[in-house]
Amino acid sequence: MADIIQLLPDHVANQIAAGEVVQRPASVVKELLENAIDAGAATIKLIVKDAGKTLIQVIDDGKGMSVTDARLSFERHATSKIRTADDLFQLHTKGFRGEALASIAAIARVELKTKQEQDDVGTAIVIEGSNVTSQEVVVTPKGTSISVKNLFFNIPARRNFLKSNTVELRHIIDEFHRVSLAHSNISFALYNNGSESFNLPISNYRQRIVNIFGNKTNERLVPVEEDTEVLKISGFVGKPEFAKKTRGEQYFFVNNRFIKSAYLNHAIASAFDGLLKNGTHPSYFLNLEVDPQTIDINIHPTKTEIKFDDEHTLYALLRSAVKHSLGQFNIAPVLDFERDPNLDTPYEYKNKNTNVPKVEVDRSFNPFQDETRSKSTTTYKKEPTANWEGLYVGLESKGTKTQQDFSEVHFESEESTPSIFDEEKQIETVNTTYQLHNKYIVSTIKSGMLVLDQHRAHQRILYEELLKNMTIKEAVSQQLLFPLQLHFSTQEITIVKQLKDDLENTGFVFSNFDDESLEITGVPVSVPESEVSIILEQLISDVENEVPDSHFSATDLLAKSMAKSLAIKTGQSLQKDEQEHLVNKLFACKEPNITPTNRSTFITLSVDELDKKFI
């Protein structure tokens, strides 16, 4: 049989390589911006037309290229940045693979103009589908300008695969943010279809963040600094109260390179533990500086994933640095409402000094006598006043309480550790409920009273329902009038695919999956259409944030995540019948006393305990 193996012609090899490096216009933007940075530019301009489908141009004032280098730069594996494989472990540049320009030139029309400082004239090269069509001497300023026109002109399938301009531009802007955030010592501008979208002067890091995300960002930033032998951390985290529903503003840079790391993201999330409202994600802009020898960037063609030698130490350092900053800037004490779920108090009460039970004593001592109250109500007072001492003198004479004791009286009793199992049987159906601060449902039980956290209780109810639906597979689905098209990254789509069967068992109907989007034609009856994307985003982030080596059950995680997203929120006012329904449903659950994530759903306060307060 004749020999059948042939070497691929260069332009074909380049096209194949381009498939890895250039997925979309934003990939070209990233490579060109990085080349300009590597060239030592102080000013970089990015110009795009039609979301980069027609034109992507990057102009820099960096060191430029000689005639020979200009020509060579389009060859595959042509790089000035490394010479031996060992150099890979001492990287101080963005690029090193020598593939970007060769790949881009294989799938577009590229016009290069470049000049070195010491030269009088520069070089212009036009290259199209890997063929050089012209090379001439030009007058051009110091630096390099590269225009990439008609991306994928010779690969119609790839071109057709591009998303709408809105989506592609979003990707470009994301890339622009990442690169410009990593280099606040370089000035960047972005022009889209002829108008200026961003103009970022050289500045400090904080100012760069503000210039990109708007003035209001400034007051939301908490600085994080940590300097250890293995790692230097600098940057900012967003205050917890400004955490977002989506994971938009989360940036990690390692040695000035944007990277994605679910593991390190988890370190930050855990530093915020207990400070965030359900379903929100903290913003962060963090730079990690590590010895280049301790990382390996080479594991992904687009270089957004890296391997660390000692991930566990980084995790611990990062977590403690962020925690420390949040604490130091007084964020944590104010919002640390998860400290002890049994003492969980509405925020409004946190700063009030006394919650003083009304005590019936000799009326002549009562400084509040013109206020009418019913005997058994609990009253609140902002400050302990001198008058109170008067009242308390009377009490002291009975030798029962000191003033100190009064100021420590809380709305929820410290001793109110719930004896859940006794209580459970006593709660059959509920007919008296009261909603407190749109957060708690208060109800009477045989032994006293019950205070239930509406969000947590509902999570438990939904979690058990969802789990049941997933296992018996008979959830009801509502058909959408128009299919819902949602866009995600390839990695995110992979996660949704893994959970597809379980999601379908809850009532989702998927009609289409491709690499970066999915189409939904049906949703569970309990899920409003407007919430679908938030639920999926939350789910993806929960999966990503799952501690890598912890026990992982997709079904359970999905049920927890959806329960969290769908549960009635704190702040939502509930009708009487809704309140009662919630209480009854909760106690029909298998494990009513805790949320799926092991937090108390309710506390009880017995008459005995109340009596003790009224001594």
Helix axes 532-545, 490-498, angle to 10 degrees: 90
Question: Could you tell me which of 418, 431, 426, 419 has the C-alpha nearest to residue 445?
Answer: 426
426 CB-side CA count, 13 A? 15
Q: At its nearest, how many Å lie between ligand ADP and the CB of residue 69?
A: 6
The correct pick among 25, 52, 95, 143 for binding Mg ion (CB under 5 A) is 95
Helix (H, G, I), strand (E, B) or coil at 62: coil
For 183-214, the DSSP string reads: -TTSEEEEEETTEEEEEE-S--HHHHHHHHH-
Cα 413–591–583 angle (5° rounding)? 65
Query: Using CB atoms, what's the residue nearest to ligand ADP?
Result: 95
Please give the single-letter amino acid code of residue 511. S
C-alpha 321/C-alpha 339 separation (Å) is 20
The correct pick among 32, 46, 100, 470 for binding Mg ion (CB under 5 A) is 100
Q: What is the DSSP letter of 36?
A: H
142 binds, among Mg ion, ligand ADP, none (CB under 5 to 8 A by kind): none
Q: At its nearest, how many Å lie between Mg ion and the CB of residue 95?
A: 3
Q: How many CB atoms lie within 10 A of CB 481?
A: 8
Question: Could you tell me which of 404, 393, 406 has the C-alpha nearest to residue 355?
Answer: 406
The correct pick among 15, 23, 35, 435 for binding ligand ADP (CB under 6 A) is 35
Q: Which is nearer to Mg ion, 100 or 212 (by Cβ)?
A: 100
Asked if 73 touches ligand ADP (CB under 6 A), the answer is yes
Asked if 65 touches ligand ADP (CB under 6 A), the answer is yes
Neighbour-count burial of 382, counting CB atoms closer than 10 A to its CB (0-12 exposed, 13-18 middle, 19+ buried): exposed
Longest dimension (CA), the chain: 116
Stretch that binds ligand ADP, among 76-84, 298-306, 387-395, 515-523 (CB under 6 A): 76-84
Asked if 301 touches ligand ADP (CB under 6 A), the answer is no
The correct pick among 15, 27, 57, 144 for binding ligand ADP (CB under 6 A) is 144
Stretch that binds ligand ADP, among 95-103, 272-280, 523-531, 556-564 (CB under 6 A): 95-103
Helix (H, G, I), strand (E, B) or coil at 284: strand
Stretch that binds ligand ADP, among 96-104, 334-342, 377-385, 426-434 (CB under 6 A): 96-104
The correct pick among 11, 71, 81, 324 for binding ligand ADP (CB under 6 A) is 81
Q: At its nearest, how many Å lie between Mg ion and the CB of residue 38?
A: 7
Q: Say if CB 227 and CB 83 are below 8 A apart.
A: no
Asked if 604 touches ligand ADP (CB under 6 A), the answer is no
Stretch that binds ligand ADP, among 34-42, 250-258, 519-527, 547-555 (CB under 6 A): 34-42
Asked if 108 touches ligand ADP (CB under 6 A), the answer is no
Q: Which is nearer to ligand ADP, 31 or 580 (by Cβ)?
A: 31
Question: Could you tell me which of 198, 193, 233 has the C-alpha nearest to residue 213?
Answer: 198
Q: Say if CB 360 and CB 377 are below 8 A apart.
A: no
Residues at the contact surface with ligand ADP, assessed by CB under 6 A:
31, 35-36, 39, 60, 62-65, 73, 78-81, 95-102, 144
Residues at the contact surface with Mg ion, assessed by CB under 5 A:
35, 95, 100
